[in-house]
Structure 1
Amino acid sequence: MNPNGIVVAAASGRSGKTTLTLGILRALSRRGIKVQPFKKGPDYIDPGWHTLAAGEQSRNLDLFLHSREEVVNHYRYYAKTAMLSVVEGNMGIFDGVDALGTNSTAELAKLLNLPVLLVVDATRTTRTLAAVVKGLMEFDRDLKVFGVIFNKVGSRRQIKLLEEVFAGYCPVRILGYMPKIGEKGAIVERHLGLITSGEVKTSNDLLDYLSRMVEEHIDLEPIISLASKNIVTVGPKPLGRGEVKIGVFKNEAFCFYYPENLEMLEKAGAEIVFINPFYDELPEELGGLYIGGGFPELYLEELARNRKLLTQVKKYAQLGMPIYAECGGLMYLCDKIKYNGSEYYMAGVIPAECQMTPKPQGHGYTEGEIVRENPYFPVGYCLKGHEFHYSRLNLTEELTFGLKLHKGQGITKGQDGFCYKNVFAAYTHFHVLTYPKWSENFVNAAKNFRVKGGGFNASLAACNF
């Protein structure tokens, strides 16, 4: 295990973990330290910011979706290529899906043998924080606390009092005191969390500002002392021969893809062709289509305007092209999307109206059984994933579902994974390390669609379950 790293954690969400993590990543990178970012749990947005801040692709580590061995191996593979690893936790440090916190940030830190840097929100409090931090440190004595950063500090007087309090009641290394950063260093939030890094024209300016704030207010030397100069050079993972084209919708409307999903498709023999659904058409000789999640509801006019692409998607779905769609992709395949009193016609593959709502319709991990034949997963397989959506589907006719959830909402009442010929469309987001054969099956189905002219039986026969 490479011990050269830290886990950034907090007592609760919205304590400033992401802001400080980004500032630390950019500051270390600017000092010439090759740092590998990771994000605990299911997330697309924070890793996107990590990647921009560090100049290295951020990776997810998830103890619910993946086994402990898979998480360790995934961490090792990328951590050994960097001088230092920074893992951003999520929620409160001991929070998880159960009362034991079996998939918590604390459990991840212990599994990876990494020390924890606690971010503590110091808004309008001083002495009480000693009780909070001491309680966190003593709650699990196997956890190694590396140090503390106080965030949102209001004055020099508060800093002086915090120093006195912690010296007397809770001796711990204090790495610094971050002031309230205001609008200049704030990343706008919306219903799914922060806005994506690609949507902020001044993203790099913002990250540089956070870096300067960290350099000014945080002592980075203890963190830098953990860095190793023994970096293992690992070339890109071997790719397949590009035997078939698989299109991937990729722009600000569809930007939620785990990098491993795309990498594993390439390794299995896919030539990834990115498609901007605002302007592009489907490429020639396409074998399959992957439509991930994102924010299609924010770009409905642009999506609806490209009628040629919408028509092509429906046509090829009817011909049996393998199409795998998640959340936003599911919405795109519906007859229409209703939002803010307006209707926007979409691809019409799924006989349903997608309605945006003011409250989450599904949020958290999902788990269920594959109950219908499809090109991607074997019947009987227990699929784990996650969902977070403010939309729901109003069905205009009975649908065929391939995934029966016993955890999560899905499309309706635990039913998810709309199946039609070689289309599989679900609210459930999937990480390929959960079922690596997904990529091989997808590519085989795409190749058969090209060779045999499509059709469900041809594509299904190619799959290796």
Structure 2
Amino acid sequence: MALVIAGDRSGVGKTTVALALNAALSARGQRVQTFKVGPDYIDPLFHTAISGRPCRNLDVILTSPEYVCACVGYHSQGMDAVLIEGVMGLFDGRGGSHEGSTAQIAQLLQAPLLLVLDVQKQAASVAAVVYGFCHYDPSLQIAGVVLNRVASDRHRQLLEAALAPLGVPIVGVLYRDQALALPSRHLGLVPPQESREFQALGDRLAHLGNTCFDWERLTPLLAPAPTSSDPPFSVSPLTQVTIGIAQDAAFHFYYADTFDLCHALGATLTPVSPLRDTHLPPDLNGLILGGGFPEVFAPELAANHSFLGSLRQAIQRGIAIYAECGGLMYLSQGIQTFEGHYYPLVGYWPPVAHMGKKLTLGYRQATALQTTVCVQAGEKVQGHEFHYSCLSVPPPRPLWQLAGEPEGWGNSRIHASYLHLHWGGHPQWAMRFLQQAAKVG
């Protein structure tokens, strides 16, 4: 049936609880499939590293309700446990609505919920919070609560007494001194591939999962929902091309479904590293530059002159390129960091990417103003932005009309934008990209 880990608001410990459950189950040799509600890239990296299976994003805005249900059904096949980490507060969706919320996903899947609560500095009042969440939408099945940041045994007793009349089971208790400090920076958690102590963190999470939860109550909730052998997208091999995927500490924001879709369409995917590699593989037809943290690794990226030169040559011979956010920044003249240091990069576009204090965040509806290797002029899309940088000059021929503003750089061979797209729910974007890539000799 899959278990959804929700919270009454952001910052209550959903990620810690979900990772602890994942780690405990995985350490027992259980086959765990994880999902993350919403467009976030970073939390899924942790789940993937712990379970050894790609964590999938469930986003009805970037894909569709039908796609979400199909994705869960297909990827839950053969699993012992299915965990879904929610986003923000349980009912928080786009623009103050429930669209895209954890509650909507739970309703679509008919899945039970665990409600994670940060209970520091409260006792009897926790009952009012739980009562409100249980009765706000009775169609949801809140199967239990997890009490996080409990101060002491006496505090726990007060909380248990307050919740007892509601009949909602307490399935987990995490004491304040058990709190894990997951390292973070400007876009969220520091990804696991940058952590030298990730194995130790995983062990601590597994211990937390084994000792802080009522597994007799949890285990029945973790069984997979009815599964399906039909993948969430129905495509046939289209063309045989080789596509490079920038994958290293600087570039790693990808939806796993993108890779599945490209494979299903006949593409061979080759990982490349703008940080470590000296050049691009010579046989590439296309290159995908995802988001990530080029601003953090700008000195190393700028110092890799041979790779930059190789990419410039590939652009000159007409290689198809799809670049999102960090990839867009990499193709610019360079990056000016938070500290004001400038590092020259590919230089294909005129602007400089300046890091700033303002966060641009949220879902966007955009209309394509020109045809690129991915989209057709006039096409309307749903995407997501999440960045602290801005470009020094606007594009002369913008790719998108986005929230009333022109955005994105593109032409018949390159698509570069701050807008993150989910190809899984829109196979035509991948099909177009691979078809254009096949034209590269």
TM-based fold match above 0.5: yes
Among residues 290, 299, 302, which one is paired with 1:301 in the alignment? 299
Q: 1:373 — aligned with what?
A: 371
Q: 1:203 — aligned with what?
A: 198
Q: CA deviation at 1:162?
A: 0.9
Q: How does 1:86-165 map to 2 (within 5 A)?
A: 86-165=83-162
Contact 1:368 1:383 survives alignment (8 Å): yes
- Matched to 1:427, the amino acid is Y
Q: In 2 relative to 1, CA 200–233 (structure 1 residues): closer, same or farther, beyond 3 Å?
A: farther
Aligned residue for 1:351, secondary structure, equals coil
Q: CA deviation at 1:96?
A: 0.6
Q: List alignment gaps of at least 5 residues for structure 2.
A: none
Q: Hey, what's the Cα distance between the residues in 1 that align with 2:20 and 2:190?
A: 17
Among residues 15, 20, 23, which one is paired with 1:23 in the alignment? 20
Contact 1:83 1:231 survives alignment (8 Å): no
Q: 2:426 — aligned with what?
A: 435
Q: 1:178 — aligned with what?
A: 174
Q: How does 1:32-431 map to 2 (within 5 A)?
A: 32-168=29-165, 170-181=166-177, 185-228=180-223, 240=237, 243-280=240-277, 281-339=279-337, 340-360=339-359, 362-395=360-393, 398-406=395-403, 414-431=405-422
Q: CA deviation at 1:263?
A: 2.0
Contact 1:81 1:233 survives alignment (8 Å): no
Fraction of identical pairs, as percent: 36
Q: CA deviation at 1:230?
A: 10
Contact 2:302 2:344 survives alignment (8 Å): yes
Q: Hey, what's the Cα distance between the residues in 2 that align with 1:227 and 1:150?
A: 19
Q: 1:453 — aligned with what?
A: none
Aligned residue for 2:333, secondary structure, equals strand
Could you list the per-position Cα deviations for residues 143-172 of structure 1 after superposition, in whole angstroms to 9, with x for gaps in the alignment?
11100110011101101111111124x321
Q: Hey, what's the Cα distance between the residues in 2 that align with 1:252 and 1:434?
A: 27
- TM-score of the two chains, using structure 1 as the length reference: 0.89
Contact 1:8 1:116 survives alignment (8 Å): yes
Could you list the per-position Cα deviations for residues 203-247 of structure 1 after superposition, in whole angstroms to 9, with x for gaps in the alignment?
122122122122212112212123549997979999959822211
Contact 1:82 1:232 survives alignment (8 Å): no
Aligned residue for 1:136, secondary structure, equals helix
Could you list the per-position Cα deviations for residues 12-57 of structure 1 after superposition, in whole angstroms to 9, with x for gaps in the alignment?
0000000010000111122333221100000111111111222221
- TM-score of the two chains, using structure 2 as the length reference: 0.94
Q: CA deviation at 1:420?
A: 3.3
Could you list the per-position Cα deviations for residues 384-430 of structure 1 after superposition, in whole angstroms to 9, with x for gaps in the alignment?
111110000001x7522121123xxxxxx622231134111000111
Contact 2:31 2:81 survives alignment (8 Å): yes
Contact 2:76 2:227 survives alignment (8 Å): no
Q: CA deviation at 1:351?
A: 0.6
Q: How does 1:443-458 map to 2 (within 5 A)?
A: 443-450=434-441
Contact 2:252 2:291 survives alignment (8 Å): yes
Aligned residue for 2:268, secondary structure, equals strand
Aligned residue for 2:171, secondary structure, equals strand
Larger RCO of the pair (alpha carbons < 8 Å, separation 6+): 2
Could you list the per-position Cα deviations for residues 353-396 of structure 1 after superposition, in whole angstroms to 9, with x for gaps in the alignment?
11011221x2111211112122211222111111110000001x
- Matched to 2:143, the amino acid is F
Which stretch shows the higher mean deviation, 78-87 or 247-256?
78-87
Contact 2:332 2:351 survives alignment (8 Å): yes
Which stretch shows the higher mean deviation, 45-54 or 218-227?
218-227
Contact 2:327 2:416 survives alignment (8 Å): yes
Q: Hey, what's the Cα distance between the residues in 2 that align with 1:447 and 1:299?
A: 32
Q: Hey, what's the Cα distance between the residues in 2 that align with 1:81 and 1:401?
A: 46
Contact 2:120 2:149 survives alignment (8 Å): yes
Q: Hey, what's the Cα distance between the residues in 1 that align with 2:151 and 2:67?
A: 43
Q: Hey, what's the Cα distance between the residues in 2 that align with 1:77 and 1:111?
A: 15
- Matched to 2:346, the amino acid is A
